[in-house]
Structure 1
Amino acid sequence: MIRVKKINKIYSNILRINQTSRHTLISLFQMFFITFFGFIATMYIARKTGPEIYGVYSLFIAYYSIITILRNFGFEQAAVKKISEGENQNSYFTAFLAINVISLPILLLILFIIQPYLSSINEYGLFNWMLLAVIISSIYTIFITSNFGTGKVGVFQAGLISDSFFRIIFQVIAVFFGYYIMGLVGGLIIGFIAGMIVNIPFNTLKLSYFSYAQFKTLMAFSLWVFLVNASFVLLSNIDKIAIGYYLSNADVGIYTIAFQLTSVATFGFMAFQSVIYPKISYMSINGEIEGIERLLSKSMTYSLSLAIPSLIGGFLLGYHILYYFYEASYASGYYSLIILFVCQIANVFVVLISTTITAMNMPKSTFKVTFFGTILNILLNILFIPLFGIIGAAISTLITMSIISTLLFISLSKLIKIKLEKTTFKNIIIAASAMLIPIAIYRLFVPIDNFFLVLLPILIGGIVYCTTLVKLDTAIRNEILDILIQMGIIHPKSPK
């Protein structure tokens, strides 16, 4: 009973934390939840199904992602942008809803037209599941757009957690009982339904008349957002589709597992991305340039605090993680894994800078860069995959992301100062170096031949890194302590 009261008190105190810290805290929890439980579920599923089936599921996700980018032609992000500005929210929401109602039948028609070209989907009887996924996710999108646009970031994040949780649970149970590909795809749809159920009760926007001028405003913004999103979706999925075309479904599965393993490095910047977009949008409207600079600087630096040690850990332990956490056949993706971990360093800047540019109402600038990167990535995949296999796909991604991050940096630096928090960045490098030493010694003297002997150095390295970073960096330490004090976990008079 005492513990329950303590938990309730902590939850109440979370609601009192300043908005940015609270949203970031919730977003970090969301990313931790998705990453941690997603890894455990993926390990079981990948071992149980094997690379072939997992590759088919990965291709389903890739095709779904590309198809649904046509769903609202970029109106989703345009609606979030206009709703977040605070004026005529009901009108913009209604315009967005009308667009979805009109676009969904068109999208379904397009699906039927391209069905003969979806060979892997047709072979496993997944086309009808694709139709269902598109319909359910379209409804889901309406409500998350409403809540995200009106600043209910916590609800939006809770919906994503529910989506991930129920998807994972359903998939694991289905695979356990032998429903492999149908269970994986069915879990995706169950997740959409769960996220929708969470978001619906918190929608406060109402149906309202909207003018042609408002529709035109959405259209003007959405065109560039659509082109930017289309470029990013192609960048994220074209490598898998190209591997499936030139190699095999099993190779797609091996590459996808390697890519998913690097998602531990995305934990930070994906959490910040969902928080900073509406905030930078608001700051931009009000001319708060210094606030944007501080928020971007903090987001990039803290994101690197996870991406850099993840790269080191992947280099030292990646082969054994793939071999013992998944299965022997996935270990052939080790070299791709290392290259993709480096990609995630570049991805920190790509995601956060492009988010900032778009939130500042300049998606055209982002599109120019990402469109060039998309074309380059397609050409490099066509060139490298037949020559180097899945390693060629990873090299293509690294070259592309490095060029995109450089061009985006140049574009945004014309408007604001882009910089890392130097002291914190230096402390991240020192802490990562301190982490490297015990893991390297462990690798040198301990032969790794089972799951637990891989897990141990991961835990040791994580403890050394976090302890060193918190001890070295006053800013991080004080921020953590402030949040813990506001949550009521630590008394304000406790020594720092």
Structure 2
Amino acid sequence: MPMSQKDLFQRGSLNLIIKITGQLLNLALIPIYVEYLMPSHYGVLNVGYVYLNFFVIFAVFGMNESITRFYPSANDEDKGRIFRTAMLFTLLWAAILFAFHLLFLKPLTLLFMDDIQWQAFYRLILLVAFLEALNLPVTMMYHVEKRNGLYALALLGKNSIKLILSWYLIKVTRDGIEGAALALLSGSVVYFLPMARLKPGRLVGPISFKWLKKLLNYGAPFLLTSLAMNALFQIDQLIIKFLKDFQSVAVYGMAYKLGSAIQYINTAFALVWFPHLFSVKRDEARQLIPRTLFNYLRVVLPVAIGLTVGARYFLPYFLPDTYRMAVSIIPWVIWGYVAYSLSDFLGAGLFINLKSHRFSFAALTALLVNIVLNMLWIPVYGVISAAWSTFISMSLLSMLTFIWSQRTFKISFGGQPWARLLGAFVPPLLVQFLPLPFPDWLSGLLFSLWMMGAAYKTGAWQAVKTLLK
């Protein structure tokens, strides 16, 4: 039976509140890094973050996708087998990758960090990556078991520990980026603790080679897609490192983290509505997707415009001169992620018809465009051009997934008042880029009021009220 939009969004709102709170704790790390780390050292830390994410994706090997696909419809006994099998495989494979990296620790440190002095930091980042690889299947379990309380406890506990220890180890004991890595490591350990409150049958019992084969057959093809998507999100920081310097990586990485925070709205709802999509009939899915997209945009557009206004008009008052370029980067990243989030809706037919390999082709195409544009533009226009490339490549991804999805699973996106929605939000978005005869704080205030009026007119406030009931 299809879930109502109200129920769907209310469940999504729980994830949204948890993720936003967790993200605020994560974003609170940025002032600590900016204030107490040298920009070049902060750049090294950002490169470590990027490397960590690639390690995690390769170590998980698509098991998170397999859990999402098979766990909800499995019987109680098989649910335990699925989780235990996925966790054991991830543990063994991540351990092999970890050992391999340790064998080549020195040359890898020189390649990515440029200086052997960062070898201890790199070793810590690898250990964090190993634990984070195990965190990901646990995250999927919290969601598919609908244990929002455990997920909140895990995420908020993890990010709180990271924040407290980062402040202490970076500011008080002056341990630099090694201290930052130790804080990350502590947070990764804390994330496991609420898992003990899952059903005992989920954690203890036999594994299943039959399920292992099934999980790998479904999840392994997602590895290429996941690597391509992560590269699309973060390869620009590595390119900046090789074409510019670590200080440029610090500026861009800080701006990227602030701008990409918008993705947590999409992720929160995707974790609810996307698995639900597989439990409804095809005709019901054709109706569900446009309605959910419209209601999603009613929430995300005013938030995106509000963040853009804040970045342009208010953030400069709080940034040191070294990081002022971030003000120009953040809006491009915000709208790049909004464009990317559309692919979940516009390309949903690819996953319904088991044509996910076409999404992989779209992701690889967008990645190739992103790399080429970065290589051409960064030496000429600087790090701001990496944000342009992000917006263009993510828009291309959504466009390609829409075209290919429509060929396999035709969906009519009519029947929703799109003109009213876009007519309310596009003008304040465009006009703010015009020169205005007001101080920045006043311009920001005026645009904020305009945006709030547009949100009220389109029913966005009602949507938010529904979410928070």
Same-fold call, TM cutoff 0.5: yes
Alignment TM-score, normalising by the size of structure 1: 0.80
Deviates more, 1:410-419 or 1:239-248: 410-419
Q: In structure 2, what is the equivalent of residue 11 of structure 1?
A: none
Partner-residue secondary structure (3-state), 1:445: coil
**CA deviation profile, 1:42-70 (whole Å, cap 9, x unmatched):** 23432332432221111111011112222
Matched, 1:272 2:269: yes
The match for 2:40 is 52
Which residue identity lines up with residue 282 of structure 1 in the other structure? Answer: S
- Displacement after TM superposition at 1:436 (Å): 8.0
Measured after TM superposition, the shift of residue 458 of structure 1 is 5.0
Change (3 A) 1:295 1:335: same
* Equivalent residue number for residue 391 of structure 1: 384
- Alignment match, 2:158: 163
From 89, 102, 106, give the equivalent of 2:79: 89
| Pair 1:417 & 2:429 matched | no
Counterpart in 2 of 1:196? 192
Aligned to 2:94: 104
Q: Judging changes above 3 Å, is the alpha-carbon distance between structure 1 residues 134 and 168 closer, same or farther for their aligned structure 2 residues?
A: same
Q: Are residues 1:444 and 2:434 paired?
A: no
Distance 1:142 1:308, change over 3 A: closer
State the AA in 1 paired with 2:458: D
The answer to whether the aligner puts 1:141 opposite 2:136 as a matched pair is yes
Q: Is the 8 A contact 1:143 1:199 kept in 2?
A: yes
- Report the Cα distance in structure 2 between the residues aligned to 1:483 and 1:367, rounded to whole angstroms: 32
Q: CA deviation at 1:74?
A: 1.2
Aligned counterpart in structure 2 of residue 32 of structure 1, from 20, 24, 36: 20
Q: What TM-score comes out, normalization by structure 2 length?
A: 0.84
Q: Which runs of 5+ in 1 are unaligned?
A: 1-16, 488-496
* Alpha-carbon spacing, 1:396–1:467, altered in 2? closer, same or farther (3 Å): closer
* 1:365 equivalenced with 2:358 (yes/no): yes
- After TM superposition, the structure 1 = structure 2 runs for residues 465-480 of structure 1, keeping only pairs within 5 Å, are 465-470=451-456, 472-474=457-459, 476=460, 478-480=462-464
The answer as to whether partners of 2:9 and 2:269 remain within 8 angstroms in 1 is: no
Distance 1:302 1:209 in 2: 43
**Do 1:93 and 1:207's aligned partners in 2 also have CA atoms closer than 8 Å?**
no
Partner of 2:109: 118
Give me the whole-angstrom Cα distance separating, in 1, the residues matched to 2:415 and 2:158: 34
**How much has 1:294 moved relative to structure 2?**
4.4
Query: Contact 1:242–1:382 (CA<8 Å) still a contact in 2?
Result: yes
Q: 2:279 aligns with which of 279, 282, 299?
A: 282
Note the 1:235-384 alignment, pairs <5 A.
235-283=232-280, 288-305=281-298, 308-309=301-302, 312=305, 318-353=311-346, 357-358=350-351, 361-384=354-377
Structure 2: distance between partners of 1:199 and 1:261: 30
Query: Structure 1 residues 264 and 227, CA, compared in 2 at 3 Å: closer, same or farther?
Result: closer
Q: What CA distance in whole angstroms lies between the structure 2 residues aligned with 1:35 and 1:299?
A: 24
Is the Cα contact below 8 Å between 1:246 and 1:386 reproduced in 2?
yes
> What CA distance in whole angstroms lies between the structure 2 residues aligned with 1:263 and 1:236?
9
Aligned-pair CA distance for 1:128 = 2.1
Q: For the Cα contact (< 8 Å) 1:228–1:371, is it kept in 2?
A: yes
For 2:215, the equivalent position in structure 1 comes to: 218
- Tell me how far 1:139 sits from its aligned partner: 3.6
Q: CA RMSD in A?
A: 3.3
2-structure distance, mates of 1:481, 1:75: 35
Any conservation in 2 of the 1:427–1:469 contact (CA below 8 Å)? no
CA drift at 1:267: 4.2
Cα contact 1:428–1:469 (8 A) shared by 2? no
Give identity over the alignment, percent: 16
Greater displacement, 331-340 / 458-467: 458-467
In the alignment of these two chains, the number of paired residues is 455
- Counterpart for residue 80 of structure 1: 68
- State the AA in 2 paired with 1:292: A
Is the 1:320–1:331 contact (alpha carbons within 8 Å) kept by the matching residues of 2?
no
Residue in 2 aligned with 1:493? none
Which is further off, 159-168 or 225-234? 159-168
Distance 1:55 1:373, change over 3 A: same
